[in-house]
Amino acid sequence: MNALLSSTNAIAAMSGIFGLNIKLIDIAYIVSSIFFIFGIKMLGKADTARRGNMVSSIGMLIAVVATLLYSGLDYTWIIAGIIIGAAIGVVAAKMVKMTSMPELVALFNGFGGLASLLVGWAEYERIKGFGWEGYLAHTQGEFYFSNIVIWLTLWIGGITFTGSILAYLKLSAKISGSAICFKGQKAFNALLALAMVAALVAMCMLPLETAYPVMIAVIALALLLGIFGVLPIGGGDMPVVISLLNSFSGLAAAAAGFTIANTVLIVSGCLVGASGFILTIIMCKAMNRTLANVLFSGFGATDEGSAKVEGEMKAASIEDAYYVLEAARSVVIIPGYGMAVAQAQHAVKELGTMLEANGAEVRYAIHPVAGRMPGHMNVLLAEADVPYEQLAEMDSVNPMMEMVDVALVIGANDVVNPAAVEDPGCPIYGMPIIEAYKARTVFALKRGKGAGFSGLVNKLYFLEKTRMLYGDAKATVSELAGMFKDK
């Protein structure tokens, strides 16, 4: 850090010699932004993701230190806040289970939105202290701009906060994970949005002191819109919701940056907002659905698409599965949320190692929306030290699925459902899936005979080539691995 400050001091001195108006804090912000960009780029690959997170963290550390050095504020409360926040973060990181990572990410998104909302509120309080006439000593355009960016900060921050909290409650099963709809819901949400726009007009037309209740109303409306916006979204669409809320938390930070005229906050917020939105589009594409359909269709609120299928689900014993796997030369393991619930990732890694020792080629097929957040399965398998080169994306594994001896489906449902390919009446028809149904034999690990989290019956389970292994996935996989060990 000392070397960095010395270098930036030298650059600042040179800028003075050449007549450039460059401040040391601006240089620090530029350096931070470069760290953010390289960090996000490194997050795009599994083998560099951890370093990318570290690089981005260093960039934020530089930005925070530079801001504090140039703020001239009393550090007492700031240091106290840093200590308290760091303690909470350490405890949360140590205690949270990897299977609960989606809930933790939802909370992080929510508190990021809340922080931006509070920044907007505090800035309104600050400029309100100038009085109407004092503040209008600035141009009318500056007054309008300040109100607009404060409104954006409150609006996006409020939606992000309550929407993320509701997503957390759904993901943690504290409330129903299915879509919750009521008659006139879309019209109600539209009225909330129109009221937000009307409040913006009022904020710009009224004196600051008079418009204060309007500003409070904006906060209340934003909080309500976050709740009622996420209510009609079912658990099967949670990866998209988490990604979108992550984007919103970045946009809220960028709006807060405009509110307090902080360059690095604008840059970092825009980077998070843009990358989160791109990931959201990727998630939607992986489901062959539009973002509007995810947000407003109420998917999972009815029994649509849950029609009965022909045949029956045929159970197999663990011994039967062992003998088939023992003879297999190629095995594709397809994890889903059921693996996360059972915390079976380490047992799955052990079974994969045993299969390789037995001469089988093992791959782990990852669907983009498997689990409850983007990259959920990648995180779990990385925790179990599954080699990166064994992870296969859907597009690379599907062409060779017909040559696979065994597809081992562990807790996945919609992402392997043949109805997405064969049944035009199914709600997920057209969604790209991992084509497990083309493998020579399919073993599906499932706790019971019920439908998946989205409420759709999986036709894969009723195929002649499919055998069900009922029970806890961790216990089942561990027993299979144990039988290979005994051999």
Which 3 state secondary structure label does DSSP give 18? coil
What number of other Cβ atoms are within 10 A of residue 22's Cβ? 15
Q: Supply the DSSP string of 112-170, one letter for each residue.
A: HHHHHHHHHHHHHHHHHTT-HHHHTTS-HHHHHHHHHHHHHHHHHHHHHHHHHHHHHHH
Phi-psi region of 272 (alpha: psi -120 to 50; beta: other; left: phi over 0): alpha
Q: Supply the DSSP string of 99-116, one letter for each residue.
A: GGHHHHHHHHHHHHHHHH
Which 3 state secondary structure label does DSSP give 463? coil
Burial 359-375 (b: 16+ CB within 10 A, else e): ebebbbbbbbbbbbbbb
CA–CA distances in Å: residue 362 to residues 11, 369, 417:
54, 21, 22
Rounded CA gap, 334 and 411, in Å? 8
* Residues belonging to the active site: 414
Q: Are 164 and 109 in contact (CB under 8 A)?
A: yes
Q: Where are the alpha helices (DSSP H) in 328-432?
A: 337-342, 345-357, 376-383, 394-397, 419-422
